[in-house]
Each structure stands twice: as C-alpha cells, then as structure tokens.
C-alpha cells in the first residue's frame, strides 16, 4: 500500500537557522506530493505541492523537490522564523484504487526560538 | 468566508454517550472525508464520500457512522463513545477525488473530542 515516512521530531531551531524535514514515500505509479502545515489550534493548510518528478514546489520561503529516484520530498527553508513554529505533514495522492484519498506522514513538530 | 466549517470545536463525552460531529462546506465540493489525528500517528481516514448518497469506509471506521444526504453536509456519528476515540477530528473536502492530485484538500479547523 501507499505510505509516507517523515523524520521524527520534534525539531527545535533558532531563528534564521536552516530547516530540513525529511520525507520519503512508497506508492504505486506516480503520486502527487504535498506538504501541509498546521498552526496551533488550527486545521491543516496546504503549504506546497508537486505533481510530477523533478517538480519543485515553493511557498512562503519553503521549498521541496519531487525526487522519484530516491522517492523523497524533503522540505527546506533557508532561514526560519518564530512564526514558522507548527506541525508539518508530508502527504501523497496516488489515485487509482486510492481514489480521493490522501496518505499522510505522522507529522513533524517544529519549534523556532528567538 | 468560503470553506469547511466544523462544529463543535471542543466536546467532552462520557463513555457510552453518542454524538454527531458536524461538517459543512460551501464550495460545491463532491468529495468529503473525515480524519482523526493522534500524536505520532498523523491523520487516519475514518470515512469518505464521493458525492451525495455515496459513502465508504476508510482506514479506521469502527465505532463511527456517516451519511451524505446533501452535497454540503457530511456529519460523523459516534455511536457509543469510548476513551480510544479521544482525538482531534478533521473534515476535509475537494472538488472531486482526483482533483486532490492537483489541489489537495481544504480542511476544517477541527473538533477536539475527549471521552472520559
């Protein structure tokens, strides 16, 4: 079946540090890949996406590149801010027999200190 | 504002009680789903619907019922609450099942349920 594995957290960084959150996946075919962000007390918001191999998704200074050869979609940001503190979820959509269903990783808690 | 609205935001139930979590969207989305979020386990699919009158089970359906009588509403019913159902519940929607490939889902803000 389809699955997503994220690096375990929590991740604690100082402001302006470089961020990487690793995400790898297992899926049949050519899934679409997503990063969602959940701020405290809120629902999930789509942060960025990539729908085919070698695509780079980007938003709010975050980037992730769809690497089919390594089945990865790592999230990066060059300089984090306190306001980036949140839970980050990697997800995939494979379609086919999984029509309509997103498969999520377990989430990574990020805390950024001033 | 357009989006997915969930009520209530918080709820405490006693073991054995029943209740309905409400979800409504005003975006004319065909596809709606319910997830539960537990620490270290990400989001797990409970039930989903591909359109009015059509529902199906997800990964963890036991103890929950759903119905979809209109496009807008997709309530989740807990039949007899158990402490294992203590969780945060999210409703999500998309234009269609396959539009999730390009646009992902729109999520509600969640219902935090505690069963004592």
How do residues B21-48 score in pLDDT, each as one tens digit?
999 999 999 999 999 999 878 899 999 9
- Angle, vertex CA B65, rays to CA B24 and CA B56, nearest 5: 85
Which chain B residue's Cα is nearest to A100?
B97
Instruction: Give residue-wise pLDDT tens across range B46-78.
Output: 999 999 999 999 999 999 999 999 999 999 999
Token representation of residue B89: 């519940």
Interface test with A, best of B40, B87, B105 (most A CBs within 10 A): B105
Of the candidates A49, A89, A95, which has its C-beta nearest B98's C-beta?
A95
Of the candidates B41, B107, B110, which has its C-beta nearest A106's C-beta?
B41
pLDDT band at B1 (very low <50, low <70, confident <90, very high): low
Instruction: Give residue-wise pLDDT tens across range A40-84.
Output: 888 899 999 999 999 999 999 999 999 999 999 999 999 999 999
Alpha-carbon gap, residue B81 to B51, rounded angstroms: 27
Q: Which residues pair with B102 in a beta bridge?
A: none
Interface touch A43/B108, C-beta < 8 Å = yes
Determine contact: A66 vs chain B, CB below 8 A: no
- Determine the average pLDDT of the residues in B70-91: 96
Token representation of residue B111: 């219902």
DSSP B14-49: -TT--EEEEEEESS--SEEEEEEEETTTEEEEEEEE
- Determine the average pLDDT of the residues in B70-94: 96
Determine contact: A106 vs chain B, CB below 8 A: yes
């Amino acid at each position: 079946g389809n699955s997503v594995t994220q690096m375990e957290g929590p991740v604690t960084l100082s402001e302006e540090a470089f961020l990487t959150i690793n995400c790898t996946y297992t899926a049949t075919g050519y899934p679409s890949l997503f990063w969602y962000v959940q701020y405290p007390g809120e629902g999930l918001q789509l942060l960025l996406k990539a729908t085919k191999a070698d695509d780079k998704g980007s938003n709010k200074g975050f980037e992730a590149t769809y690497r089919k050869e390594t089945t990865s979609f790592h999230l990066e940001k060059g300089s984090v801010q306190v306001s980036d503190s949140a839970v980050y979820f990697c997800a995939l959509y494979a379609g086919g027999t999984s029509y309509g269903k997103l498969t999520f990783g377990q989430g990574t808690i990020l805390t950024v200190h001033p | 504002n357009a989006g997915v609205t969930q009520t209530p935001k918080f709820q405490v139930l006693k073991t054995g009680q029943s209740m309905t979590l409400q979800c409504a969207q005003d975006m004319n989305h065909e596809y709606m789903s319910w997830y539960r979020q537990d620490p270290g386990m990400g989001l797990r699919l409970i039930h989903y619907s591909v359109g009015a009158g059509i529902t199906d089970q997800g990964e963890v359906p036991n103890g929950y019922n759903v119905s979809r009588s209109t496009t807008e509403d997709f309530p989740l019913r807990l039949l007899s609450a158990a402490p294992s159902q203590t969780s945060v519940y999210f409703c999500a929607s998309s234009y269609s099942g396959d539009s999730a490939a390009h646009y992902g889902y729109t999520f509600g803000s969640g219902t935090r349920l505690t069963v004592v």
